[in-house]
Amino acid sequence: MPAPESPSFVAPPTKALSMPQKALRKMGLARDIDLALHLPLRYEDETHITRLSDAHDGQSVQIEAKVIAAQASLRPRKQLLVTVDDGSDTCTLRFFSFYPAQQKALSVGAQIRVRGEIRGGFMGRTMMHPSFKPAGGELATALTPIYPTVAALPQAYLRRAVAGGLSRAELSETLPPQARWPGPQKLMSLRQSLVFLHHPSPDVSMAALEDRSHPAWQRLKAEELLAQQLSQLTAKQERQHLRAPTLVHKAGALHDQLLQALPFRLTAAQHRVGQEIAQDIAHNAPMHRLLQGDVGAGKTVVAALAAMLAIDAGWQCALMAPTEILAQQHFKKLVDWLAPLGVQVAWLTGSQKKKERTQMLALIESGQAALVVGTHAVIQEHVRFKNLALAVIDEQHRFGVAQRLALREKMQDAGMEPHLLMMTATPIPRTLAMSYYADLEVSVIDELPPGRTPVVTKVISDNRREEVVQRISAQLSQGRQVYWVCPLIEESEALDLTNATATHADLSAALPGVSVGLLHSRMPVADKREIMAQFTQGSMGVLVSTTVIEVGVDVPNASLMVIEHAERFGLSQLHQLRGRVGRGSAASACVLLFGTPEGGRLSQTARERLRAMAQTHDGFEIARRDLEIRGPGEFLGARQSGAPMLRFADLSVDIALLEWARALAPDMLAKHPALAEQHIARWLGGKSEYLKA
């Protein structure tokens, strides 16, 4: 089996690095293949000369002309004005930043070749900061690449580095000979594709380059998706060789007792998902399952039933949540369900008093605490479990790779791993699940419990705030409660947003006699608890909050959610916030207040988000639209911290290539393991380790 490609582009020792070499390293361009895969952002056409009289406003052109005037001035600001004449017309070149050597090269009488964008105006044609060099010499035969770069890395240096890397890179074929290529286009080799994309011929369709539909782009996108699928599948297969506790369902034990004691019946979807989890943890290979369900679908009780299977078998379970508010909600709910069954639940958070924390740590280490609920505090070094068998991570996208690995390493038995159940209330579109979660088993709770009230969503301009306050007053008069969510807690010069503190003062004044609370992330933990307790118990009518209430808050009596500057929120975040109401029997509503720049209009993205919220309550449909609007990046959250994101493929348009890669990967691993290893090393290097968490 050939060894993975080693970096043949070796930089000298750090002390000897030049500024451009340091910049290359900082950009992750260490191997020849990294340089070869560093593709242009755009191209410039330096293959022909255009006469000024033939150029149009807004057109980028290359001209050859003589400098007929040059003047540097310091007022009203420093600038260099150079007038050139190509025999058909004149043009002024304007530079606000220039060096003496450049000024000398642009002296009167110089013949120069200039490239830039032509702009018309009252003072005649101009080019702002065009590139230039002496006239004459051969014209380029291919489009000139413009690469993504940083300040210390000039285009000329980067072009030489990329060209060198491309010429040296080992680009032998890794696709199996019998691999069937999707689509009607002719298959280009990887080297052909890269050479073409770095230096396209001038007659190429610019549209095909820009929308990445050209066969060269298709080859790269397919290879990238295949590398990702191979890496995910390899991680999944490697886990099959690890060992985990076997947690077999015992009839009549805690699992069944909890099921009988619950004050509600599980939905068919909850039953189905519970069985999928039970089947997984009954095997001695570690479960890696993602449980997704819409807001309020009942994921917590499914996790509790899975925990009972672990506890029935004599093992411990841990549940980790990203915020103390959410962890507290889980803790309270689980204690209510499990204490009557004799199950001790421990609570761990960073804000605990030392005495309470010491007690909890002792209960966990001795095994008396069968279930541990908490925040990041659960994975701190001094937390020792007696025998952890099941780790549950809620809102998994809020945790990083290192945090998930730390929780899995809490198992004391050498050579064993706990089963891992990750939960999310942000449904993941199918294409994302196929791609970034290909190494996980995915369970979906696709129905809501009976009794959940549909939430009416209204999109209202900020200039109708008084109407919204009147609606709040009407809800309060019926004994209901209200959330008002703001995006900031302090004034910001960058964002013209009303802050939570000011809104709290305004609502307190507008609603005399009503208890209006304020909750934000910078408050002391004890104050947060007190505010939430008052709202939960019903003694507070209105809660003004930042997005700390996004997940986990469950107050059935709250029937109205107002989200201020809703245009500033992401679609999935809006959906999460809306899920805080409609949890009881009362008719509920969500008001999306939007503001616009003075005299301006909402951006297209903001309009699409608000429209989607008004049109659907289906979390999966919202997830699909969110993927269309903003791409996959934010969906993936911290799971991909440091991991290779898709640089070339676009999951909204490349579904056929993804299906191709998905079908080819298992066959390639089984029949061509050496090619698979070489392919992963070429595209991912050591980054594939991140995909195993």
* Cβ-Cβ contacts under 8 Å for 672 (sequence gap 6 or more): 176
Answer whether residue 357 shows pLDDT above 80: yes
- 477 confidence band (pLDDT: 50, 70, 90): very high
For residues 650-654, give the mean pLDDT.
82
Q: What is the mean pLDDT of residues 17-36?
A: 87
Average pLDDT over residues 180-202: 86
List of domains in the chain:
14-43+144-211 (no CATH), 48-134 (2.40.50.140), 254-445 (3.40.50.300), 455-616 (3.40.50.300)
Give the contacts of 533 (CB within 8 A, at least 6 positions apart).
none
Residue 15's contacts (CB-CB under 8 Å, 6 or more residues apart) are none
pLDDT score for 462: 87
Q: Is the pLDDT of residue 30 over 80?
A: yes
Q: Across residues 143-149, what is the average pLDDT?
A: 91
pLDDT band, residue 242 (cuts 50/70/90): confident
Q: How far apart are CA 247 and CA 242, in angstroms?
A: 15
Q: For residue 486, is pLDDT > 90?
A: no
pLDDT score at 478:
93
Q: What is the pLDDT of residue 638?
A: 36
Give residue 674's pLDDT: 94
Lowest mean pLDDT among 59-68, 298-307, 492-501: 492-501
Dig out the tokens for 229 from the structure.
């699928």
Average pLDDT on 39-46 reads: 90
Confidence of residue 496 (pLDDT cuts 50, 70, 90): very low
pLDDT value, residue 632:
58
| 599 pLDDT more than 80 | no
- Burial grade of 277 (CB within 10 A; 0-12, 13-18, 19 or more): buried
Report pLDDT for 693. 47
Residues 450-480: b if buried by 16+ CB within 10 A, e if exposed:
eebeebebebbeeeebeebbebbeebbeeeb
- Rounded mean pLDDT of the chain? 84
Which strands make up the sheet holding 516-519, listed edge to edge? 455-461, 588-594, 558-563, 481-485, 542-545, 516-519
Per-residue pLDDT, 641: 40
* pLDDT at residue 653, rounded to an integer: 84
Report the range out of 177-191, 416-430, 530-544 with the highest average pLDDT.
Answer: 530-544
The average pLDDT across 90-109 equals 92
Q: Which of 53-67, 180-194, 440-454 is most confident?
A: 53-67
pLDDT at 487: 79
Local confidence band at 263 (pLDDT 50, 70, 90 cut-offs):
confident
Residue 186 has pLDDT above 80, yes or no: no
Question: Could you report the per-residue pLDDT of 387-423, keeping only the tens digit for each?
Answer: 999 999 887 655 655 666 677 677 666 668 889 998 8
For residue 1, what pLDDT is reported? 38
Contact (Cβ atoms closer than 8 angstroms) between residue 384 and residue 365: yes
Q: How many CA atoms lie within 13 Å of 29's alpha carbon, on the beta-carbon side?
A: 24
552 pLDDT tier (thresholds 50, 70, 90): low
Q: What is the pLDDT of residue 495?
A: 47
pTM over 0.85: no
